[in-house]
Structure formats: structure tokens, C-alpha cells
Amino acid sequence: MGVITLALITGGVVAPHADPPLWVIASAGLAIALGTYLGGWRIIRTMGKGITDIQPPQGFAAQTGAAATILASSHLGFALSTTQVCSGAVTGSGLGRKGGVVRWSTAGRMVAAWALTLPAAGAVAAGAALLAKQGTWGVTATAVLALGVSGAIWAASRRNTIDHTNVNEVPAAEPAGVVTTAIRAVSPPPAGQPAASADASHATDASHTADEPDAAHHDSPSAPRAQAATVAP
């Protein structure tokens, strides 16, 4: 909505200090609603299960952290991406959960997508602007291409459908990363499960080591022959 309003102000259609037109607000809201309807389940799985397995306490912590960050940024006049804020909050809640695992491969793909977003959006916008400058046919071609690409992306997403029946399926586990392993190493054991004593472990290992020669002696096939040789006249 802000980008559309800025374009209208730059083109002289809207006064610099005027509010966004009603049709801009309605079209932006409709676009967001349509995008959520078409891809919402996939986003829910990625945020709720893909990065880490979110439980109610982690969800509350993530939403609280994201809301505080967004409100503080808005008050100070900083620009930010709510998607990045929420993703960071979910990752942090997964790291803070005892025994939680963050799927860094999913987080890495998201960061890579963010890095490609700005140059890709700039390239697409430049191409659309050059095509639209050609006249009415250019504007029509731009709209047709946009609809065609959007339809192709939607059709590709239908190959692996995600809806209310499978949105909570947990993705395949991956080995814990360095950060997760370090947090597990310093985390206390769960309540009711005492930590194993190092002395007891060493004592057990020592007893096993001490028993091994005797077991080897008794199981050795040469022992019966030695006894038989001693008894024989």
C-alpha cells in the first residue's frame, strides 16, 4: 500500500500529504488476503514446524518478541520486514526451548531467499517498466505475464498440497547444529531425571575392564587343554 501510494505521489496523481486512496487500501488488503488464502498453509507449516517445533510457550514468546520489536520500530520510524522479525523470533524461541532443535537448513534457505528478493524484485520491476513504456500493448503484456507467472507458481505448489489435514506434520529431523548442541550441553536435565554420575560411570567402566581378562581366561580354548595336561599321568 505504501509503495503504491508513493508511486501515485511521484506521478502527481495524489497530493504529497494526502491519505492513500480507498481503492489503494482495498486492493492492497485484497492482495494480502488472496496471498494468504493461496499460500497460507505452507507459510504456517514453515513458521510453526519447519524452523522449529513450536509449542504454546514458544508461540507466546515469539509473538511477544515480534510485537515488541515491530511496535518499537514503528515508534522510532525504522523500516523493517515483519516476516524477518517473526522468523527471527521463532528461531530464538526454538533456541531457548530446553531440548529444542532449530532446523538450520530451513532457516538458511529463508535467508538466501531474502538475499535474492531485492535484486530479483528490482530486475522484474525494471523489465515491467520498460515493457509498459511501449504503450497499451506493453501494459497488457506486463499484466498477462504477471498473471501467467503467478498461475505457474500456484500450479507448482499444488504438486505437494499442504492444507489443514497435514499442516502439523513435522519435517524430517536433521542433525543438531553447533548452537543447538552447545545449548543442550549446558542445559540441566529434565525434572525427575537425575544426571548420571561421572564417578559411577568411571567405576562401571573400570569394573568392565577388570572383568575382561578373567572372562577371556575362562573362555579361552587353551585353558581346558592346560588342565588336562596337568591331570594326565
pTM of the full predicted structure? 0.59
Domain boundaries, the chain: 2-184
Mean pLDDT within 27-43: 86
Grid cell locating 117: 528478493
How many Cα atoms are found within 13 Å in the side-chain-facing hemisphere of 198? Answer: 0
Residue 28 DSSP class: H
Q: Which pLDDT score, from 0 to 100, does residue 60 have?
A: 92
DSSP codes joined into one string, 112-137: HHHHHHHHHHHHHHHHHHHHHTT-HH
* Alpha carbon distance 187, 117 (integer Å): 37
Q: Which pLDDT score, from 0 to 100, does residue 197 have?
A: 42
Which cell is 70 given? 515491530
pLDDT tens column, 57-108: 888 999 999 999 999 998 898 888 888 899 999 999 888 877 777 888 888 8
Render pLDDT for 154-200 as a digit per residue (tens, 0 to 9). 888 788 888 778 877 766 655 555 555 655 565 555 455 454 443 44
Q: List Cα–Cα distances, 172 to 8, 59, 105, 106, in angstroms.
A: 47, 21, 11, 11
Quote the pLDDT of residue 174.
Answer: 55
148: pLDDT strictly greater than 90 = yes
- Fill in the amino acid letter for 145: L
